[in-house]
Amino acid sequence: MTVYRERLWAPPVLYLATALVIPASLLVFLPISVLTGVLVAIGMYLGVLVLLWALAPTIEVTDTEFRAGRAHLPRTLVGDVQGFEGAEATTQRGPKLDARAWTLFRGYVRGVVRVEVLDPADPTPYWLVSVRNPSAVVAALRKPGTGI
Protein backbone atom coordinates (compact mmCIF):
# COMPACT_ATOMS: atom_id res chain seq x y z
CA MET A 1 0.00 0.00 0.00
CA THR A 2 1.30 3.45 -0.94
CA VAL A 3 1.69 5.83 2.00
CA TYR A 4 3.18 8.77 0.08
CA ARG A 5 3.83 9.43 -3.61
CA GLU A 6 4.98 12.39 -5.65
CA ARG A 7 6.43 12.93 -9.09
CA LEU A 8 9.18 15.53 -9.42
CA TRP A 9 7.80 17.26 -12.50
CA ALA A 10 9.78 20.10 -14.01
CA PRO A 11 8.24 23.54 -13.38
CA PRO A 12 6.22 25.16 -16.20
CA VAL A 13 8.95 27.75 -16.82
CA LEU A 14 11.33 24.93 -17.82
CA TYR A 15 8.85 23.67 -20.41
CA LEU A 16 8.63 27.23 -21.71
CA ALA A 17 12.42 27.70 -21.72
CA THR A 18 12.92 24.54 -23.73
CA ALA A 19 10.81 26.16 -26.45
CA LEU A 20 14.05 27.88 -27.45
CA VAL A 21 14.82 24.71 -29.37
CA ILE A 22 12.20 25.88 -31.90
CA PRO A 23 13.96 29.03 -33.17
CA ALA A 24 17.34 27.29 -32.93
CA SER A 25 16.24 24.44 -35.18
CA LEU A 26 14.45 26.86 -37.52
CA LEU A 27 17.65 28.83 -37.87
CA VAL A 28 19.50 25.70 -38.95
CA PHE A 29 16.87 24.04 -41.15
CA LEU A 30 14.98 26.93 -42.81
CA PRO A 31 17.75 27.41 -45.40
CA ILE A 32 17.14 23.80 -46.50
CA SER A 33 13.37 24.23 -46.78
CA VAL A 34 10.54 25.88 -44.85
CA LEU A 35 8.64 22.62 -44.47
CA THR A 36 11.75 20.80 -43.18
CA GLY A 37 12.49 23.62 -40.75
CA VAL A 38 8.98 23.64 -39.31
CA LEU A 39 8.75 19.84 -39.05
CA VAL A 40 12.17 19.53 -37.39
CA ALA A 41 11.37 22.37 -34.96
CA ILE A 42 8.09 20.76 -33.92
CA GLY A 43 9.68 17.31 -33.68
CA MET A 44 12.58 18.52 -31.58
CA TYR A 45 10.33 20.42 -29.18
CA LEU A 46 8.02 17.41 -28.78
CA GLY A 47 11.10 15.26 -28.16
CA VAL A 48 12.29 17.60 -25.41
CA LEU A 49 8.83 17.59 -23.81
CA VAL A 50 8.73 13.79 -23.86
CA LEU A 51 12.18 13.64 -22.23
CA LEU A 52 11.16 16.09 -19.49
CA TRP A 53 8.08 13.99 -18.81
CA ALA A 54 9.79 10.59 -18.99
CA LEU A 55 12.79 11.56 -16.86
CA ALA A 56 10.76 13.01 -13.96
CA PRO A 57 11.52 10.69 -11.03
CA THR A 58 8.88 9.37 -8.65
CA ILE A 59 9.32 9.44 -4.88
CA GLU A 60 7.22 6.78 -3.16
CA VAL A 61 6.85 5.40 0.34
CA THR A 62 4.99 2.11 0.65
CA ASP A 63 4.46 -0.24 3.58
CA THR A 64 7.51 -2.23 2.50
CA GLU A 65 9.95 0.16 0.82
CA PHE A 66 11.11 3.68 0.01
CA ARG A 67 11.58 4.40 -3.69
CA ALA A 68 13.42 7.33 -5.23
CA GLY A 69 13.47 7.12 -9.00
CA ARG A 70 14.55 3.59 -9.93
CA ALA A 71 16.29 2.94 -6.60
CA HIS A 72 14.50 1.30 -3.71
CA LEU A 73 15.32 0.75 -0.06
CA PRO A 74 13.44 -1.79 2.09
CA ARG A 75 11.73 -0.15 5.06
CA THR A 76 13.54 -2.55 7.37
CA LEU A 77 16.82 -0.84 6.38
CA VAL A 78 15.56 2.73 6.90
CA GLY A 79 17.10 4.40 9.93
CA ASP A 80 16.78 8.01 11.04
CA VAL A 81 14.86 10.26 8.65
CA GLN A 82 15.22 14.05 8.54
CA GLY A 83 13.66 16.67 6.30
CA PHE A 84 15.28 19.96 5.33
CA GLU A 85 14.04 23.07 3.57
CA GLY A 86 15.53 26.41 2.55
CA ALA A 87 19.12 27.20 3.48
CA GLU A 88 19.54 24.00 5.49
CA ALA A 89 18.54 21.92 2.45
CA THR A 90 21.16 23.76 0.41
CA THR A 91 23.76 23.03 3.09
CA GLN A 92 22.80 19.33 3.08
CA ARG A 93 23.28 19.22 -0.70
CA GLY A 94 26.60 21.07 -0.48
CA PRO A 95 29.05 21.37 2.44
CA LYS A 96 27.45 18.67 4.62
CA LEU A 97 27.08 16.11 1.82
CA ASP A 98 28.98 12.87 2.38
CA ALA A 99 30.62 11.77 -0.87
CA ARG A 100 29.44 8.21 -0.20
CA ALA A 101 25.77 9.21 0.01
CA TRP A 102 23.32 8.18 -2.70
CA THR A 103 21.63 11.26 -4.12
CA LEU A 104 18.70 12.18 -6.31
CA PHE A 105 18.59 15.93 -6.79
CA ARG A 106 16.42 18.18 -8.92
CA GLY A 107 17.53 21.81 -8.91
CA TYR A 108 13.97 23.07 -9.15
CA VAL A 109 12.88 21.23 -5.98
CA ARG A 110 13.89 23.07 -2.81
CA GLY A 111 13.41 20.46 -0.06
CA VAL A 112 15.37 17.29 0.68
CA VAL A 113 15.03 14.29 2.95
CA ARG A 114 17.98 12.47 4.47
CA VAL A 115 17.30 8.76 4.97
CA GLU A 116 19.85 6.78 6.96
CA VAL A 117 20.70 3.32 5.56
CA LEU A 118 21.02 0.63 8.26
CA ASP A 119 22.50 -2.10 6.06
CA PRO A 120 26.02 -2.84 7.44
CA ALA A 121 27.06 -4.34 4.07
CA ASP A 122 26.12 -1.15 2.20
CA PRO A 123 28.87 1.50 2.04
CA THR A 124 26.22 4.20 1.50
CA PRO A 125 25.58 5.94 4.84
CA TYR A 126 22.37 7.67 3.72
CA TRP A 127 20.19 8.75 0.82
CA LEU A 128 19.63 12.45 0.15
CA VAL A 129 16.57 12.94 -2.04
CA SER A 130 14.85 16.06 -3.39
CA VAL A 131 11.19 16.27 -2.37
CA ARG A 132 8.62 19.04 -2.44
CA ASN A 133 7.20 18.28 1.01
CA PRO A 134 9.94 16.97 3.33
CA SER A 135 7.73 16.84 6.42
CA ALA A 136 5.19 14.60 4.64
CA VAL A 137 7.91 12.18 3.53
CA VAL A 138 9.40 12.10 7.04
CA ALA A 139 5.95 11.42 8.52
CA ALA A 140 5.29 8.67 5.98
CA LEU A 141 8.62 6.97 6.72
CA ARG A 142 8.00 7.22 10.47
CA LYS A 143 4.42 5.95 10.17
CA PRO A 144 3.44 3.76 13.15
CA GLY A 145 2.96 0.08 12.53
CA THR A 146 5.75 -0.18 9.93
CA GLY A 147 8.48 -1.23 12.33
CA ILE A 148 10.30 2.10 12.19
Does residue 145 have a pLDDT over 70?
no
**144 — pLDDT class (breaks 50, 70, 90):** low
pLDDT tens track for 64-121: 999 999 999 999 999 999 999 999 999 999 999 999 999 999 999 999 999 999 999 9
**8-27 mean pLDDT:** 94
Given CA atoms 69, 71, 75, 81 in this order, what sign does their dihedral have?
negative
- pLDDT score at 123: 96
For 89-123, b/e burial (b = at least 16 CB within 10 A) is: beebbeeebeeebbbbebeebebbbbbebeeeeee
What residue segments make up the domains of the chain, in order of their start? Answer: 2-54, 59-141
Percent of residues, the chain, with pLDDT higher than 90: 94
pLDDT, the chain, mean = 94
How far apart CA 15 and CA 52 sit, in angstroms, is: 8
